[in-house]
Amino acid sequence: YQQPPQGYPPQGAYPQPGYGYPNQYAVYGAYPPPVPPVNVQNAQLHQFDAMDFGIPADQKDNLKLLMGVPLEISVEIGTAKRKVKDILEFTQGTIIELERQAGAPVDIVVNGNLIARGDVVVIDDNFAVRITEIVKSKFIDSLGKE
């Protein structure tokens, strides 16, 4: 596309050539056909009970008691194994190479149990994790079973 000449002010008495990208419709000699109207409707969303986990009604009160129990969530970006001798030699600036590649999903661990994986993101100035996979494990499968 044409670039305006550098260093020359526009000349008011003369028509100025159009700069930038050419009009895409001028190339084809016609304007685009009108767009047919689209029928847009609001989606009807089903409201789910937050406590509806397929649990019998008489046990829902027990579940409500547990909902306030705090759990520790940790995010693991990787692991490394070192001998005690190596750990005692750590100083400020020591680099520990992890067994996970950069950009790989991180592990989301709740009370010591792997429950999900996700990608590290930044929100404002804080790190966060976007869950990308819920991990099926014996621990999760055993929940709700006696």
Q: What secondary structure does DSSP assign to 28-72, as a single string?
A: HTSPPPPPPP-------PPPPPTT-SS--HHHHHHHHHHTT----
The per-residue pLDDT for 94 is 93
**Highest mean pLDDT range out of 10-14, 75-79, 135-139?**
75-79
Q: Has residue 62 been placed in a domain?
A: no
SS3 143: coil
Residues 6+ apart with CB under 8 A from 135: 114, 115, 116, 117
Sign of the C-alpha dihedral computed for residues 54, 56, 59 and 60 taken in this order: positive
- The mean per-residue pLDDT over the stretch 115-133 comes to 91
Q: Has residue 132 been placed in a domain?
A: yes
Could you give the CA distance from residue 67 to residue 134 in angstroms, rounded to a whole number? 20
Write the pLDDT tens digit of every residue in 13-41.
555 555 555 555 555 556 666 777 777 77
Q: Has residue 80 been placed in a domain?
A: yes
Q: Has residue 43 been placed in a domain?
A: no
**Model confidence, pTM:** 0.52
Write out the residue range of the structural domain in which residue 127 sits. 72-90+101-146
Write the pLDDT tens digit of every residue in 85-121.
999 999 999 999 999 888 899 999 998 899 999 999 9
Phi, psi of 114, deg, nearest 5: -65, 120
pLDDT at 4 over 80: no
Q: Has residue 21 been placed in a domain?
A: no
**Given strand 73-76, what is the order of strands in its sheet?**
73-76, 106-110, 113-123, 126-134
Question: Which residue carries 């490394």 as its tokens?
Answer: 80
User: Into how many domains does the chain fold?
Assistant: 1
- The mean per-residue pLDDT over the stretch 130-134 comes to 93
pLDDT class for 68, splitting at 50, 70, 90?
confident
Mean pLDDT of the chain: 77
